[in-house]
């Protein structure tokens, strides 16, 4: 089986390239992934130039007290958005990605196992996504890391070197 860090390295490298090219700093708020997204980003090239860090807000009290979540349900789109904006504010980051969800095996907040809400905030503009993943808790976490990195990459402006050049 491929090492998860290797699997996500290419996406994290592109996030690094895009963040550096745009002069953006990045932060992460993680619940069910427990720091795995930050681990991928921290291993990317020149992370010290663009990666601010992350907050593992696994419990509801940390989500609320540290990151300012006000959503009634912590497994919700509103919570993911508030996690992203809260960690961006806390870390003084231009962009942030956040995830919250149900790894399983039991339901939470009325959502079945495998339900994940993610949000990305870039300079105050927030976009979210809802995912329904299959598998055991470890597999849900793995899929969530990949989805969050993809969401972050898509939200950052492409670096000039990754855009197609003029017709030759």
Give the CATH number for residue 112: 3.90.950.20
Q: What per-residue confidence (pLDDT) applies to 148?
A: 98
Q: What per-residue confidence (pLDDT) applies to 2?
A: 56
Cα–Cα distance, 31 to 11 (Å, whole number)? 20
Tens digit of pLDDT per residue, the chain (168 long)? 456 557 899 999 999 999 999 999 999 999 999 999 999 999 999 999 999 999 999 999 999 999 999 999 999 999 999 999 999 999 999 999 999 999 999 999 999 999 999 999 999 999 999 999 999 999 999 999 999 999 999 999 998 854 454 454
Tell me whether residue 72 is exposed, middle or buried, using C-beta atoms within 10 angstroms of its C-beta: 0 to 12, 13 to 18, 19 or more. Answer: exposed
Does 103 fall in a domain? yes
Does 166 fall in a domain? no
Does 132 fall in a domain? yes
Does 167 fall in a domain? no
Q: What per-residue confidence (pLDDT) applies to 4?
A: 56
Q: What per-residue confidence (pLDDT) applies to 12?
A: 97
Tell me which residue range forms the domain holding 57: 4-158
Total domain count for the chain? 1
Does 89 fall in a domain? yes
Does 61 fall in a domain? yes
Does 31 fall in a domain? yes
Entry pTM: 0.92
């Amino acid at each position: 089986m491929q090492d998860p860090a290797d699997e996500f390295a290419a996406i994290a490298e592109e996030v690094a390239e895009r963040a550096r090219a745009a002069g953006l700093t990045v932060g992460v708020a993680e619940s069910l992934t427990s720091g795995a997204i930050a681990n991928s980003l921290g291993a990317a090239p020149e992370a010290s130039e663009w990666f601010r860090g992350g907050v593992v807000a696994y419990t509801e009290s940390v989500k609320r007290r540290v990151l300012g979540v006000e959503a009634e349900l912590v497994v919700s789109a509103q919570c993911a958005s508030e996690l992203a904006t809260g960690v961006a504010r806390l870390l003084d980051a231009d962009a942030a990605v956040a995830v919250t969800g149900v790894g399983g095996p039991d339901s939470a907040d009325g959502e079945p196992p495998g339900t994940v809400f993610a949000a990305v905030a870039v300079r105050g503009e927030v976009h979210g996504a809802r995912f329904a993943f299959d598998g055991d808790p470890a597999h849900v976490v793995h899929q969530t890391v990949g989805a969050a990195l993809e969401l972050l990459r898509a939200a950052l402006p492409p670096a000039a070197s990754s855009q197609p050049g003029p017709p030759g």
